[in-house]
Amino acid sequence: MNLKLLKAFVVLAEKGNYLQAALALSVTQPALTKQINLLESLLNTPLFIRGRHGSQLTMGGQRLLPEAIKVLKQADSFLQHAEQIAKGEEGRINIGFGLSSFYFAPQCIAKFRRLYPAIEVSLEDIPSTRQYDLLENGSLQVGFVRVPAKAPLYYQALFKDHLIMVTPADHGCTVETWLKRLPLLRLYNERGRGLNAQTDMYLQSAQLFPSSTQEAGDIQTLLALVIAGIGVAILPHSIMHIAPASINQISLTGRYVSWDVGIAWDDRYADLIRDNFIAMVGNTEASMPT
């Protein structure tokens, strides 16, 4: 069905006059007459009664007019959705984030939702090493990860994160003293592979050797164990926004205490929503907890 024919039908029904309807449609009166005649032929039913005072709907025309209006509204809605999709303003995006982006990634998501309310956003906490695989197979569109990312992934560095030690209280102890006094609390390797590797490189370069270690499944548990006096932990500074204000922090210096955090994506997949998100993140200042 040609939508132009339906629109001619609806406008003529509203105007009740061929001349006025033709002017509203920006067509000639003979052209409008041909459109109505063609529609009546396709439907095999008369739609209008032509009279001296204009055109009136037949009984069949009265029955079909509401459906024609409904179809035109649906077509307009379809075109609006298509335009939003073509501009990357409607759809879905799956995003991963890790420990160092606990603070920044949700800020970006909130901003993106304000700019693109019709886009559904999925945000999942996934270690960087796992995110790389998911980006390559298309399960994720963007990942907040440690960078640089290896080819074929593209990446953009955003900010630096660095290691700190958190302890139960400020007793004026050195990092070495704390490691001798209490166990070093760590994440299970499948959850914190990148952080554990960073910590090991730092400890080895600083010639620091923990007396013992204890593992947990998440950052909140590590912080709770530290507060309880069960151990100390070496964590990214960026997660301190979820730490109690009373927890003690010790700055670390030397090699391997910092790394770059950014976003990564696979440019082999065309995705305008992803591209809009990347552009927005690039214009977002990476404010970090103090």
Residue-wise pLDDT for 131-180, tens only, equals 999 999 999 999 999 999 999 999 999 999 999 999 998 878 999 999 99
How far CA 199 is from CA of 28, 125, 239, in Å, comes to 79, 20, 15
Q: Which two tokens stand for residue 160?
A: 């630096």
**Distance, CA of 100 to CA of 97 (rounded, Å):** 8
The model's confidence at residue 289, banded by pLDDT at 50, 70 and 90, is low
pLDDT(53) > 70: no
Q: Within 10 A of 247 (CB to CB), how many other CB atoms are there?
A: 16
3-state helix, strand, coil in the chain (%, to 5): 50, 25, 30
Q: SS3 of 186, please?
A: strand
91-97 and 142-147: which strand pairing?
Answer: parallel
The percent of residues above 90 in pLDDT, for the chain, comes to 77
**Distance, CA of 197 to CA of 201 (rounded, Å):** 6
The answer to whether 239 touches 178, Cβ cutoff 8 Å, is no
pLDDT the model gives residue 155: 96
pLDDT the model gives residue 86: 76
Instruction: Please tell me the pTM assigned to this model.
Output: 0.70
pLDDT the model gives residue 239: 87
**Distance, CA of 208 to CA of 177 (rounded, Å):** 10
CA 47 to chain centre: 50
